Structure formats: structure tokens, C-alpha cells
Amino acid sequence: MKKIEAIIKPFKLDEVVDALTEIGITGMTVSEVEGHGHQMGRNEHYRGREYALDFVQKLKLEIVVPDGRAGQVSSKIVEAARTGLIGDGKVFVSQVDEVIRIRTRETDAMAVA
């Protein structure tokens, strides 16, 4: 099993969810997060004054899939979330040793199906 974590711009969520739904991925967790990469935040203007915001709002998607689907899922996320501008985000793929569905006690692939 693989866990795919994607940090994306909030306005790209619908496009990413639609792209994943097209390939049969419907289970995911979405969290509001803040952070910064190379851009180191951004400057905002309010009532004629400039303020530095150290962190940028993003969304974090977490999806667990069988090993064979990880490449397809991560490619779809990149395709749907990409604007070509700084701050588009990142996709992380890591190994998951075990998954257990609490209600039924199903494990691994059956637990995420």
C-alpha cells in the first residue's frame, strides 16, 4: 500500500477531486494547512499598508491506494493541480505497512476498497 500526500492550492481542489473520481478514487482526507516553500510567504496590502504573511494557505490531500495505483494517482494529481506558477505544491508518496478498517476489521486492500 502507498500513501499519497498532496499539498495543493485551495482553488484547485475541485479539479483534483474530479480527476481522481474519473479513475475511480473516491476515498480521501482533505485538511486545511499552512506553510511555505521557496516563496517564503507573501505580502498583502490592507488599508494602504503592507503586511508580510509568513505562511500560505494550502490544502493537504491524503489518499491510500494499492502499490500499483500510486503512479497513476500521483500523475492525475499533478496534472489537475498544476498551474505552472510558484507555489503549486508537492506530492509525497510513502509506504504504508498496514491499514485496518475499524468498523469491520478488514485489512490492507480490503480496508481501502
What is the model's pTM?
Answer: 0.85
φ, ψ of residue 66 to 5 degrees: the values are -60, 150
- The CA dihedral of 21, 26, 28, 30, to the nearest 10 degrees, is 60
Domain at 91, CATH number: 3.30.70.120
Cell of 105: 476489521
pLDDT at 46: 67
d(CA 21, CA 57) in angstroms, rounded, equals: 24
Its domain, for residue 15, covers 2-112
What number of CA atoms fall less than 13 Å from residue 109's CA on the CB side? 4
Question: What is the full per-residue pLDDT of the chain (113 aa) written as tens digits?
Answer: 999 999 999 999 999 999 999 999 989 999 999 887 776 666 666 677 766 667 788 999 999 999 999 999 999 999 999 999 888 999 999 999 999 999 999 999 888 88
The rounded distance, in Å, linking the Cα atoms of 57 and 53 is 10
What DSSP assignment string belongs to 82-99? --SSTT-EEEEEEE----
When divided into structural domains, the chain yields a total of 1
Q: What pLDDT is attached to residue 52?
A: 67
Q: What is the rounded CA–CA span in Å between residue 84 and residue 52?
A: 24
